[in-house]
Amino acid sequence: MLKNESGLVFEISGREIEADRPEPIIQNIDVVPYKRRMDPQIAVEALVDGYYVLVVDFYSSGLAVLRELKRYVKSKYSDQSFQGQRDFRSVYRKFSHRLLLVVSNNKLVVRKAPEIGWLKILYPELDEFLLPFPQVQGLNSSWQWYEKGIYIKVLDREIHPFFGTYFPTRFEHLKLFDNWLKQYKGEKKSAIDIGIGSGVLSYQMLKHGFGKVCGTDSNPNSIIGLNEDMNRNKLHSKIDLIYGDLFANCNLKTELIVFNPPWLPASNNIEGLDKAIYYDANLFPHFFAEAEKHLNAEGRVVILFSNLAQITKVSESHPIEAELSDGGRFKKELFMQKKVSQASKNTQRNQSWRSSEMVELWVLKNR
C-alpha cells in the first residue's frame, strides 16, 4: 500500500489502483455556522438558498437539520411514484451535501460523533478538511458493515465489504443462482464474473467446485477490498482480479460468464455506487458483443436481472429480451424467476411495486 498526494494507491497484481473516496473539501469556503440552540429551519433555508452550513457543536445537530430538510423537500416533492421518489432523492441529495462537518486528525471535530476508521484509512495525507454530512453518514455505515461483517446465507459466512463497494441487501437472486449451480452439469474449469463487487457470485462458484474465476470490476474499491478478503481467506490461487470495465483485459475464454448488472436504466450521468444500480444505453450491447468473444462453443452466459424497470414503468424495454430478439448472438436455454420478499416495515419509502417484482436468472448459449 502506497501513499500519494491525492489519497491511497494500492498495488494489486502489479498494477497501481487508487482508492475512491468522498471528495474532501480543502479550499477555504464561506459557511453559515449552525448550533443546536438555533432553529434548524434557519439552516434549511440557507441550504436551499445555496449556502454551505457547518455543524459546529454536536453530531446530533446535523441530524436535526437533515430531518428538517427532509420534511421541507417532501413538502415540495410529494409524488410517491417510483419516478417521484427518484426526483425527491435527487433534490434532497443536492441540498443535504451542502451541510458540512470538519475532520481533523482523522476524527470528526463535533462532540458525540461516531468513530469512523475510514477517515484514517482513506485520508492519510490530510490533517484537516471538510466533508458533507451525508457522506460522513455513508462512511459511518460502511465502517460498521466492514467491521462487523455481513452474513451471506448462501455462503454460510460473513463478508467485509470495503468502503464504496456494492454488496447484496436482498438475496433472492443469490438463491436462484445457487439453485442453478446445484444442477449445473457443465465444465467447471473456469468462469468470468463481470462486475465482481463484493465477490459473492464468485465465492458461490468456488463453493460449487469451479477451479478458477476471473473477476473484473470498474470500481477500484471493489478490487482493493476483495484483494484484502482474498488475503484473509487464502483465495489468491482461485480468483484473478482485474480492474477495468466489463471484461477489461481478461483474455480468458471460458465455459461460464456470470453477470449481475444494474437493474434500472439511467436517466442522467451516473457515478460512484449508482453504477451498481443504473445502467447506461451502451452497457448491454457492449457486454453481449464481448461475451461472444470470451465464451467457449458450448459455454453459457448467466445473467441475474429483475423486472423492476418494467413494473415501475421506468422502461418498457428489457435489455436481455432485446438481445435475444435482435442481437443474433445467443439463444435462451433457461429462464427462472423468483418473487421478491416484501419490503421491511421499517422502510420509509413507498415500495408497493414489490408485490409484482420478480428476480430473474437467464441462461444463454451460443446460436
Is 6 a residue whose pLDDT tops 70? no
Q: Is 139 helix (H, G, I), strand (E, B) or coil?
A: helix
- Which candidate, 93, 115, 129, 63, places its Cα nearest to that of 273? 93
What was the pLDDT predicted at 47?
A: 96
**Single-letter amino acid code for the residue at 283:** L
What was the pLDDT predicted at 207?
A: 96
Is 68 a residue whose pLDDT tops 70? yes
- pLDDT category, 269, cuts 50, 70, 90? low
Per the DSSP assignment, residues forming a β-bridge with 17 are 10
Task: List, in order of start, the domains of the chain with CATH numbers.
Answer: 2-146 (no CATH), 149-366 (3.40.50.150)
SS3 of the chain: helix, strand, coil, percent, to 5: 35, 25, 35
pLDDT (mean) for 320-333: 94
**Single-letter amino acid code for the residue at 181:** L
The Cα–Cα gap between 132 and 332 comes to 47
CB 162 within 8 Å of CB 230? no
What's the DSSP call for residue 93?
Answer: H
pLDDT (mean) for 61-78: 92
pLDDT (mean) for 309-338: 89
70 phi and psi angles, rounded to 5 deg: -60, -40
The Cα–Cα gap between 226 and 236 comes to 10
What was the pLDDT predicted at 271?
A: 61
- Which candidate, 317, 305, 303, 312, places its Cα nearest to that of 354? 312
The H-or-E segment that residue 83 falls in is helix 82-96
Is 4 a residue whose pLDDT tops 60? no
Chain mean pLDDT for the chain? 89
CB 69 within 8 Å of CB 51? no
- pLDDT category, 352, cuts 50, 70, 90? low
pLDDT (mean) for 202-208: 97
pLDDT (mean) for 228-255: 91
* Torsion angle, alpha carbons of 203, 205, 206, 211, to 10: -140
What was the pLDDT predicted at 81?
A: 77
Helices then strands (H, E): number in the chain? 11, 19
The Cα–Cα gap between 213 and 93 comes to 37
- Which candidate, 88, 83, 98, 163, places its Cα nearest to that of 131? 98
What was the pLDDT predicted at 143?
A: 97
What was the pLDDT predicted at 285?
A: 94
Q: pLDDT digit string (tens) for 272-311?
A: 656 667 888 899 999 999 999 999 999 999 999 998 888 8
What was the pLDDT predicted at 135?
A: 97
Span of 153-162, 294-303, 342-351 with lowest mean pLDDT: 342-351
pLDDT (mean) for 211-221: 95
pLDDT (mean) for 130-144: 97
Percent of the chain with pLDDT over 90: 69
Q: pLDDT digit string (tens) for 82-118?
A: 777 778 888 899 999 999 999 999 999 999 999 999 9
Q: Is 76 helix (H, G, I), strand (E, B) or coil?
A: helix
**Angle separating helix axes 59-76 and 82-96, nearest 10 degrees:** 140
pLDDT (mean) for 268-272: 62
- pLDDT category, 5, cuts 50, 70, 90? very low
**Residue 305 in grid coordinates:** 436481472
- pLDDT category, 340, cuts 50, 70, 90? confident
What was the pLDDT predicted at 350?
A: 46
The Cα–Cα gap between 60 and 137 comes to 12
The Cα–Cα gap between 331 and 250 comes to 24
**Residue 54 in grid coordinates:** 457547518
What was the pLDDT predicted at 107?
A: 97
